[in-house]
Every structure is written in structure tokens, then in C-alpha cells.
Amino acid sequence: MQSPIRIILADDHQLFRQGLKVLLAQEPDVRVVAETNRAEDLPGLLAQVPCDQLLLDLQMERNTLPDIEMLAARVPVLVVTASELPSDSIAAVRKGARGVVFKGSAVETLMEAIRTLARGEVWLPPSLQTQMAVQLRKRTGNVLSPREEEVVECIALGLRNAEVARSLAISEETVKTHLNKIFRKLGVRDRVELALQASRSRITANGKRD
């Protein structure tokens, strides 16, 4: 039997946090292993309690956005926020969050996000994906070379570096070089953000360009 997804909850609203614990307790593949209402407790908590994901509110006793980069280096961060401002969510993704769920979403949506992150993927609301796609379109223009465009399309399809190399008949080292140049040109943080934006802005569900 597969081990449950171990979750740490970070939210300063006790009713919401306790309600979320009750809901998650009903899911056999998820287990809440710790919780806190203070952002400043998170580094110590992550050091003491092994977990697979951190469910993080953006507004606790203070704004937690500046903490995300540090936290995301230690554990996948799923932002659960009342703010539906695209700027807040996009900023969280740029800092390293692997997903965003709005507090007004259905429980099924939250569970889908948690399980998606557990597979090593990312999860964003469709409205936010659209916003990020618009930003990517504005950035790309004619900035990328034809080969870099091909690499972006491969990443959008979920290919790993070795698979990209085989697909394009180039070395993995060349793929890494292209990716580093693409990151700089597009101003994206890593391949996760690149895939998030490229998959929406350049490739539709049937593999054709928008």
C-alpha cells in the first residue's frame, strides 16, 4: 500500500485550519502531520517533521510571500489563499510555489491539487493559467531562436532533458545550455514555470498551436 501524502498546514484562521484537517482526515491517501498559525515557525517545523507538502496561506500573522522561495527549496508548496488577485498567485509561483488553490474552491479541487503535486506536477486554476499565458506571449515575441522554440515545446509536453535530447537529436548538455538561455530570455525561474506558461500559451490539448 502506498504511503499517505504527509501534509503540514500553515494558516492563522483556526476555524479554516481545523475544518481542513477534518476534511483531509477523510481521505485515505492524505495525512496531516503538523500545523501552525505562525509563518515564523515554519523553518523549525520543517526541520523537525518530515512531510511531502506544505499547504500555505499567503496572509498569516504577516505576508508569507517572502518566505516561499526558502520553503519551496525544502518541500513542495501548495498555496491555499483567499486572495484571487492574479498578481498574488503569480508572485507565489515565481517564488517557487508548485500550486495555487483558492479558498473558495471545492474540496475536490484541493484534493486534485494535492495529488497532482504528489506526482511531481504543478496545479493552477484555469484563470491563473490564462493570466500567465498572456504574460508569456508578451515576453516571447521573436526573442527565442527556432531551436529554443523546439525545446520549449518539448518542455511543455512534459519531456525530461534526456527525452528532449533524443527528440531533437542533440546532447543533454546542449539541452541544458538552451534551457539556461531560455530562462534568462523569458525571465522564468525554472522549467516548472516555463512548462506552466508554455503549455497554455503555445500548445493546445491536441498538440496544435493556439
Q: Specify the pTM.
A: 0.69
Q: Burial of 120 by CB count in 10 Å (0-12 exposed, 13-18 middle, 19+ buried)?
A: exposed
Could you tell me the residue ranges of all domains in the chain?
Answer: 5-121, 131-201
pLDDT of residue 159: 73
Cβ proximity of 59 and 39 under 8 Å: no
CB 152 within 8 A of CB 182: yes
Residue 42 has a pLDDT of 95
The CATH label, of 3.20.190.10, 3.30.1330.10, 3.10.20.440, 1.10.10.10, for the domain at 131-201 is 1.10.10.10
pLDDT in tens, 63-107: 999 999 999 999 999 999 998 788 888 888 878 888 899 998 889
pLDDT tens digits for range 102-140: 998 889 999 999 998 998 888 887 777 666 655 655 555
Q: Which CATH superfamily is domain 5-121 in?
A: Response regulator (3.40.50.2300)
